[in-house]
Structure 1
Amino acid sequence: MTVYLNGRYVPYSQALIPVEDRAFLFADGIYEVVRCYGGRPFHLDRHYERLCRSARALELPLPLDEAAFAGIVAELLERNNLQEATVYLQVTRGAAPRRHQIPQGLEPNVVAIARPVQSPSEEEVRRGVSVITVPDTRWGLCWIKTVGLLPNVLARRQAEKEGAFDAVFVRDGLVTEATSSNVFCVIDGVVYTHPLANILPGITRAVVLEILAELGIPCREEAVPLEWFREADEIFLTGTVLEVMGVARVDGRTVGEGRSGPLTLRVWEAFRRRCAS
């Protein structure tokens, strides 16, 4: 496997980062995951815009422009002979002796890796998944896509221990998002999703909002209480790798008919058409 590291393409075993890199010590870094269909990145421009927003929020110098970002993605796909893939790109502040103060003049470290991936099958989408709800214990800047994901990891681990696919965060009694995806629910024909207030501005989320508008399905970017969420007619998750996935159970309770609902499937079908276009 060939990976990208600071301007070079090297074998995976030779992609070495200093032990005092600040991402390793302080989670002082940002990242993006780009889905590629048939060798073509999906909305690469939106991913780069989000990477820039994260970098500005952390005052982290971004050592690549959009053309360089696109070039790295294309080169990794070609060198690894991949068509259906994700490309993970991470930018760290750089390496320095461990101190909380941010040193001046650091050189950011940039690493990117491409891996094969397959979309969820139609059977999996129609069957849906189960989720649990957990308290949202994350920090107050969840809209920044940083590598500091331990609360997400622990919540996902809790879901696995309870036999569920994922965990959905609840903050002050309101549903926010899942560990690596955004959350939508359908109540009386209206789709609800948490507004962009301290949640991750998902690329797939944005595309789904466009699809809902095109289909003429009413949608409100409005936080939903947990009680409403548990009684919703349909629930679905959206994410770069997950795409659009229905939820069949929440905290052991059946959602709708216990599988992906008709509105969820309409959105999924429209999303898949976009991916193929």
Structure 2
Amino acid sequence: MTQPLSQSDGATTTDALIEHRREIADLEERIKNRRLQVIGLHGTPIVVIAALLLWVVLKISFWLHSNTPGVIDNTCSFAAFFSGVAVVAQLAAEFNKFWIDARTPLRKLKLDLSLATERHILEALRHTPPPMDRQASYRERLPAEMSRLRKESRHYRRMHLLMQWMLFVTSAAISAVTAWYDPPQPAKGILIGLGFTVTVITAAAGYFKPRERAFNLQQTADSIEQHSTALELGIAPYGESDQSRNLELFATTVEGLRAEQRMREQQLDQPQQGQQQVI
């Protein structure tokens, strides 16, 4: 059975865990920056070569026996010049170690991140707090989870509204253009474009289902908030005098709500026939 920690031991453990999390976050940021540096080191020379090859291909294909237009010459030369400057600057920063992780393989940084994560897990297991403390901590993390759910819900709701308004406008535009041009030969291209837009939006709305995703996310966030408020006020189903029992029931209920949300997301990602079989 886990022994309760004293106040000084708990503070020391908390500081150690926070330090591990800072180390992990720092390594994740360094890996992200190093990946961009590597992409730049390998990508800018390719841009230089591509710009020169493009100029040669255009010259041979269209202007073999005449002068190339100034726009083509200027565009290709500027692209090659600025990419070449970027190559020189990046190589100087790499070999003179102006960057924090210059000349450091990504594999080494990923290994350091894996080891830091392992140390954090072992430290957390070595000083595991009692279940009641973990449940109380779980409760304090829920506002951020509810905020995330509502943010995603607003995103999908806005996507759904945008798709619906585009459908309204394009559908009305098809009728308006057809009525305006009779016969519709001068506006044939516009009608084709509008019909294509309607088809794409309808297919995208049916595939991604933003309205259903927004509804599910908002429903889960509201349910979690309802249980959190009930626990805070001490009302049913969290009216028992034993606070540890209330926290245990609260954590179990919220995890069940989150599991239902994940199941609904999986059902939305499946084809219609697969959804019917799951249901």
Quick check: TM above 0.5?
no
More helix by share: 2
TM-score under structure 1 normalisation? 0.24
Say which one has the larger Rg: 2
Higher strand share: 1
What is the TM-score of this pair, normalised by structure 2?
0.24
